[in-house]
Amino acid sequence: MNFQDMPKVELHTHLEGCAPPEFIRMLAKEKGLDLSGIFNADGTYAYRDFDHFLEVYEAACTTLQGPQDFYRLTKAVLEESASHGVVYQETFISPDFCGGGDLGAWREYLAAMEEAAAEADRDLGITLRGIVTVIRHFGPEAGKPAAHCGVETFGGFVRGFGMAGGEMVGRPADYSYLFDQAREAGMPLHCHAGEWGGPSMVQETLDHLKVDRIGHGIGAIDDPALVQRLADSGVTLEVCPGSNVFLGAVDSWESHPIQKLRDAGVKVTVSTDDPPFFGTTMTREYEMLNKTFGWTKPDFDEVNRTALAAAFCDDATRQTIA
Ligand code: ADE
Ligand code: ZN
């Protein structure tokens, strides 16, 4: 089976997290930054665990210093995604890494990303949309300007609001003010939960943040009633198995709960999260799901239909992808 050419819908990527290490090294050289500490001898990103991964991620982001760098990043990311058959991609974009929450600066960064996305749409047949995310471990206060940027630029390229970052910082309710604002503005909502936190984190995310989609959500598997709630509610999980295995959120592909969640009627989709950080691609995710759980084209077709139905794009865009 040729998994690379299969058309794919990917809902969960972090734009900076898709930056190839060689791209970050090129920017570091341009800017005279010494980032040698974040790379292994073979050129891959070097980190010990999830918290250290977040530090290395943020160090890599220091090389992205203006809209033009985000234009180049978006172009490079979409070329790679398109080469793996991705036809529609959503990506988390963070005002914190794009002007530090200043609305004027944010608009300029967004325009640059949008320009690169429009070119890739025209030249490569891949459509990109953005979800504005606050970074949880920066705290609820720091999220306010970022959320403001999201609300003010909702529509067009920006399709939703969400939260990424260190999940064990605070509780979901601490961030409900930000999600309430975004919901009132009509934004579809996403939140990372149940990547590291157990069922209670997923439960509280549903209760307090009232999201449409959960990033990861795999921690729900330990509570059958919660799994049933996910299935009944139709909340879609953006599952990133390769990321979970690589970071150690699960022990192995064989023990990953994606199959059990799917069997329980939960809407599951497949994404890469931060592919060069985890040595993965959408092709590899499909290959591993085939090898581990025996998924074949009908399974991937179903997962892609689920993803497209849960995508935050407008219906006209959805119809052009289908
Ligand atoms: N930011 C980038 N990758 C992330 C992940 N896997 N979990 C939470 N925040 C992230
Ligand atoms: Zn993520």
Handedness of CA 81, 85, 89, 92 (dihedral sign): negative
Residue 1 in any domain: the answer is no
Domain shared by 42 and 150, yes or no: no
ipTM exceeding 0.90?
yes
Give, using CA atoms, the residue closest to atom 10 of ligand 1: 165
| Ligand 1 atom nearest to 164, measured from its CA | 9
- Residue 265 belongs to some domain of the structure: yes
Asked if 293 and 198 sit in the same domain, the reply is yes
pLDDT at 1: 82
CA 3, CA 119: separation in Å to the nearest integer? 25
- Measured from the CB, is residue 243 less than 6 Å from ligand 1? yes
Q: Are residues 180 and 58 in the same domain?
A: no
Q: What spacing in Å lies between the alpha carbon of 192 and ligand 2's midpoint?
A: 7
Whether 37 and 95 map to the same domain: the answer is no
Choose the residue to mutate in 18, 92, 273 for probing ligand 1, maximizing ligand atoms within 8 Å of C-beta. Answer: 273
DSSP of 67-136, one letter per residue? Answer: HHHHHHHHHHHHHHHHHTTEEEEEEEE-GGGTTTT-HHHHHHHHHHHHHHHHHHHHHH--EEEEEEEEEG
Do 15 and 105 share a structural domain? yes
Note the pLDDT tens digit of each residue in 198-208.
999 999 999 99
For the Cβ of 214 lying below 6 angstroms from any atom of ligand 1, the answer is no
Domain count along the chain: 2
Q: Which domain holds residue 150?
A: 8-19+66-321
Question: Element (H or E) spanning 31, and its range?
Answer: helix 21-31
Q: Which positions of the chain have pLDDT values less than 50?
A: none
Residues 172, 268: one domain?
A: yes
Picking from 230, 203, 143, the residue whose alpha carbon sits closest to that of residue 178 is: 143
Ligand 2 centroid from CA 195, angstroms = 9
CA distance 79 to 82: 5
Any idea which ligand is nearest the CA of 169? Answer: 1
Closest to 172 measured CA to CA, from 141, 210, 142: 210
CATH code at position 119: 3.20.20.140
Residues 122 and 36 in one domain: no
Residue among 80, 90, 195, 285 flagged as catalytic = 195
Domain boundary (63, 79, 98) is at 63
The amino acid at 160: G
Give pTM, 2 decimals. Answer: 0.98
Query: Is-contact 288 258, C-beta < 8 A?
Result: no
- Flag whether 2 is in a domain: no
Task: Determine whether the shortest distance from the Cβ of 114 to ligand 1 is under 6 A.
Answer: no
Residues 52 and 194 in one domain: no
pLDDT in the model for residue 81 = 98
User: Is the beta carbon of 165 within 6 A of some atom in ligand 1?
Assistant: yes
**78 and 198 inside one domain:** yes
- Does 195 participate in catalysis according to the annotation? yes
183, 299: one domain: yes
Q: Is 93 within a domain?
A: yes
Best residue among 195, 216, 239, 245 to mutate for probing ligand 1's pocket (most ligand atoms within 8 Å of CB) is: 195
Residue 276 Cβ contacting ligand 1 at under 6 Å: no
Q: Rounded CA gap, 302 and 87, in Å? A: 15
* Pocket residue to mutate for ligand 1, from 16, 53, 239, most atoms within 8 A of Cβ: 53
- For atom 4 of ligand 1, which residue has the closest CA? 165
Query: Residue 158: helix, strand or coil by DSSP?
Result: strand
| Amino acid occupying residue 152 | E
- Are 50 and 148 found together in one domain? no
Give pLDDT tens digits for 136-169: 999 999 999 999 999 999 999 999 999 999 999 9
Around Cβ 154, how many Cβ atoms within 10 Å? 18
Write down the number of H helices and E strands in the chain. 13, 8
Beta-sheet strand order (sheet of 213-216): 190-193, 213-216, 236-239, 267-270
Residues 110 and 257 in one domain: yes
251 assigned to some structural domain: yes
State if residue 96 touches ligand 1 by the CB under 6 angstroms criterion. Answer: no
Question: Which of 267-278 are b and which e, b meaning 16 or more Cβ less than 10 Å from the residue's Cβ?
Answer: bbbbbbbbbbbb
